[in-house]
Chains A and B, each alone.
Chain A
Amino acid sequence: MDNFEYANPSTVKEALSLLTAGAEVLAGGTDLLSLLKDEVHKPKRLVNIKNIKALGGISKAGNNIRIGATVTLDELASSQLIRAAYPSLVQAALGITSPQIRNMGTVAGDLCQRPRCWYFRSGNGLLNKSLVENGENKYHAIFGTGSAQFVSASSLGPALMALGATVKIAGADGKTKDVPVAQFFKAPSAEGEREIALAANEIVTDILVPAPATKNATYEVRHKQALDWPLATASVALRMSGTKVTSASITLGHVGPTPVRATEAEKMLVGQTITADSAEKAGAAAVAGAKPLSQNAYKVQLAKVAVKRALLTAAGVKAV
Chain B
Amino acid sequence: MAEYKWPPMEKRRVMGKRIARLDGPMKSSGRAKYPSDMNRADLLFGALLTSPHAHAKVKSIDLAAAKAIKGVTAIRIISGPGTEIQWAGTEVCAVSAITEEIARDAVKAIKVDYEVLPHLVKEDNLAKVGARAKAAGEQVTGDPDKAFADAEAKTSGDYGIPVITHCCLEPHGSVVAWGADKIDFWPSTQAVSTVGGDLAKMLELPATQVKVDCQYMGGGFGAKFPADRWGAEAARLSKESGGRPVKMFLDRATELTIAGVRPSHFAKIKVAGKKDGTITGWQSESWATGGIGGGGMAPLPYVFTNIPNRRMNHTQVSLNTGPARAWRAPNHPQASFLTCSAITDFADTIGMDPLEVFLKNVAVSARPETYKKQLAKAAELMDWKKKYTHGSKKTGTLRRGLGIGIATWGGAGHASKCKLTINADGTVEVEIGSQDIGTATRTCITQVAAETLGLPMSAIKVKLGNNSYPPSGPSGGSTTIGGVSSSTRKAAVNALEKLFEKVAPTMGVAADQLEADDSRVVAKGNPSKAMSWKQACQKIGPTPISEMGENEPRVAAREGLNTQGASGIQMAEVEVDIETGVVRIVEVVAVQDCGLVVNPKTAESQVAGALIMSVCSALMEERITDQTTGRVLNADMEFYKLAGLPDVGKLTVHMDITPEHDARGIIGLGEPCAIGGVAAIANAAANALGVRVPMVPLTPERVLAALANRRNA
Contacts and interface: CB of A to CB of B under 8 A. Distances in A.
Interface of A: 1, 97, 116, 118-119, 122, 124, 130-131, 134-136, 138-139, 221-229, 231, 295-296, 298, 301-302, 305, 320
A302 B699 CA distance: 12
Nearest to A320: B397
Given A135-B628, A221-B700, A302 B633 contact: no
Contact of A296 (B582, B584, B634, B701): B701
Contacts of B580: 221, 301-302, 305
Which 6 pairs of residues, A with B, have the shortest CB-CB distance? Answer: A226-B644, A225-B646, A298-B701, A118-B633, A305-B579, A298-B704
Interface of B: 101, 104, 397-398, 577, 579-582, 584, 619-620, 624, 626-629, 631, 633-634, 638-639, 641, 643-647, 699-701, 704-705
B643 A116 contact: no
B178 to A, nearest CB: 30
A224 B701 contact: no
A124 B629 contact: yes
Given A225-B646, A226-B646, A131 B629 contact: yes
A134 B629 CA distance: 11
Contacts of B647: 224-226
Given A124-B629, A136-B633, A223 B582 contact: yes
Contact of B581 (A119, A134, A225, A298): A298
Contacts of A224: 619-620, 641, 643-644, 647
B99 to A, nearest CB: 12
Contacts of A221: 580, 582, 700
Contacts of B701: 138, 295-296, 298
B582 A135 contact: no
21 contacts: A97-B646, A116-B638, A119-B626, A122-B631, A122-B633, A130-B628, A131-B626, A131-B629, A135-B628, A135-B633, A136-B633, A139-B639, A221-B582, A223-B641, A223-B700, A228-B641, A229-B638, A295-B701, A298-B701, A302-B580, A320-B579
Contacts of B624: 136
A251 B330 CA distance: 47
B110 to A, nearest CB: 15
Nearest to A296: B701
B555 to A, nearest CB: 48
Given A225-B584, A295-B701, A131 B643 contact: no
A223 B628 contact: no
Chain A's interface: helix, strand, loop or mixed, by majority? loop
Contact of A231 (B579, B619, B700): B700
A231 B700 CA distance: 9
Between A119, A122, A228, the greatest number of chain B beta carbons within 10 A of the residue's beta carbon is seen for A122
B657 to A, nearest CB: 33
Contacts of B633: 118-119, 122, 135-136
B700 A118 contact: no
Given A135-B628, A298-B704, A302-B580, A320 B644 contact: no
Contact of A226 (B101, B398, B643, B705): B643
A228 B631 CA distance: 22
Contact of B645 (A136, A139, A226, A295): A226
Contacts of B644: 97, 224-227
Contacts of B584: 225
A135 B626 contact: yes
A185 B639 CA distance: 25
Nearest to A295: B701
Contacts of A226: 643-647
Nearest to B649: A225
Given A225-B584, A302-B581, A320-B397, 11 more contacts: A118-B634, A222-B582, A223-B641, A224-B643, A225-B646, A225-B647, A226-B643, A231-B700, A298-B704, A302-B700, A320-B577
